[in-house]
Amino acid sequence: MRKLRIIGIGAGNPEHLTLQAVRALEQVEAVFVLDKGEVKADLLRLRREICERFITRPFHFVEAQDPERDRNPQDYAAAVEAWHTARAILYETLIDRELGEGGCGAILVWGDPALYDSTLRIVDRIVARGRLALDYDVIPGISSVQALAASHRIALNRIGGPVHITTGRAIADGLPPDAESIVVMLDGDPRFDHLDPELTIYWGAYLGTPNEIVLSGRLGSIASEIRHVRAEARSRHGWIMDTYLLRKPDGR
- DSSP secondary structure letters along the chain: -EEEEEEE-BSS-GGG--HHHHHHHTT-SEEEEEE--GGGHHHHHHHHHHHHHH--S--EEEEEEPPP--SS-SSHHHHHHHHHHHHHHHHHHHHHHHS-TT-EEEEEESB-TTSS-SHHHHHHHHHHHTSS-EEEEEE----HHHHHHHHHT--SS-TT---EEEETGGGTT---TT-SEEEEE--SS---TTS-TT-EEEEEESTTSTT-EEEEEEHHHHHHHHHHHHHHHHHHHS---EEEEEEPPTT-
| pTM (2 d.p.) | 0.90
Which of these, 192, 194, 171, lies nearest to 182 by C-alpha position? 171
Q: Residue 154 corresponds to which amino acid?
A: I
Could you tell me what percent of the chain has a pLDDT over 90?
Answer: 75
Q: What pLDDT, on the 0 to 100 scale, is given for residue 205?
A: 97
| In the predicted structure, residue 45 carries a pLDDT above the cut 70 | yes
The CATH number assigned to the domain holding 70 equals 3.40.1010.10
Are 84 and 102 in the same domain?
Answer: yes
Are 23 and 135 in the same domain?
Answer: yes
Are 101 and 77 in the same domain?
Answer: yes
- DSSP secondary structure letters along 184-223: EE--SS---TTS-TT-EEEEEESTTSTT-EEEEEEHHHHH
> Looking at the domain assignment, is residue 236 inside a domain?
yes
Are 28 and 117 in the same domain?
Answer: yes
Which of these, 31, 34, 9, lies nearest to 87 by C-alpha position? 34
Are 111 and 186 in the same domain?
Answer: no
Q: What pLDDT, on the 0 to 100 scale, is given for residue 122?
A: 95
Are 105 and 127 in the same domain?
Answer: yes
The CATH number assigned to the domain holding 237 equals 3.30.950.10
Judged on CB neighbours under 10 Å (0-12, 13-18, 19+), 220 is middle
> Looking at the domain assignment, is residue 195 inside a domain?
yes
The whole-angstrom separation of Cα 226 and Cα 64 is: 34
- Enclosing domain of residue 204: 144-247
Q: Which of 58-67, 107-116, 156-165, 238-247 has the lowest mean pLDDT?
A: 58-67
Q: What pLDDT, on the 0 to 100 scale, is given for residue 40?
A: 65
Please check whether residue 190 is in contact with residue 222, taking contact to mean a CB–CB distance below 8 angstroms: no
Are 130 and 157 in the same domain?
Answer: no
Q: What pLDDT, on the 0 to 100 scale, is given for residue 12?
A: 84
Q: What pLDDT, on the 0 to 100 scale, is given for residue 124?
A: 95
Q: Residue 224 corresponds to which amino acid?
A: S
| In the predicted structure, residue 154 carries a pLDDT above the cut 60 | yes
> How many domains does the chain contain in total?
2
The whole-angstrom separation of Cα 179 and Cα 208 is: 27
Could you tell me what percent of the chain has a pLDDT over 70?
Answer: 97
Read off the pLDDT of residues 59-101 as tens digits, 9 standing for 90 and up. Answer: 999 999 888 877 777 777 788 888 889 999 999 999 999 999 9
Q: What pLDDT, on the 0 to 100 scale, is given for residue 232?
A: 97
Are 122 and 37 in the same domain?
Answer: yes
Read off the pLDDT of residues 18-34 as tens digits, 9 standing for 90 and up. Answer: 999 999 999 999 999 98
Of 139, 169, 198, the one marking the end of a domain is: 139
> Looking at the domain assignment, is residue 124 inside a domain?
yes
Are 6 and 130 in the same domain?
Answer: yes
The whole-angstrom separation of Cα 98 and Cα 228 is: 44
Are 239 and 166 in the same domain?
Answer: yes
> Looking at the domain assignment, is residue 252 inside a domain?
no
Q: What pLDDT, on the 0 to 100 scale, is given for residue 80?
A: 84
Of 117, 139, 161, the one marking the end of a domain is: 139
Split at pLDDT 50, 70, 90, the class of 37 is low
Q: Which of 59-68, 126-135, 180-189, 190-199 has the lowest mean pLDDT?
A: 59-68
Split at pLDDT 50, 70, 90, the class of 145 is very high
Which residue did the predictor score with more confidence, 57 or 71?
Answer: 57
Of 110, 139, 168, the one marking the end of a domain is: 139
Question: 184 φ, ψ to 5°?
Answer: -115, 125
Are 50 and 114 in the same domain?
Answer: yes
Q: What pLDDT, on the 0 to 100 scale, is given for residue 38?
A: 54
Which of these, 71, 37, 39, lies nearest to 239 by C-alpha position? 39
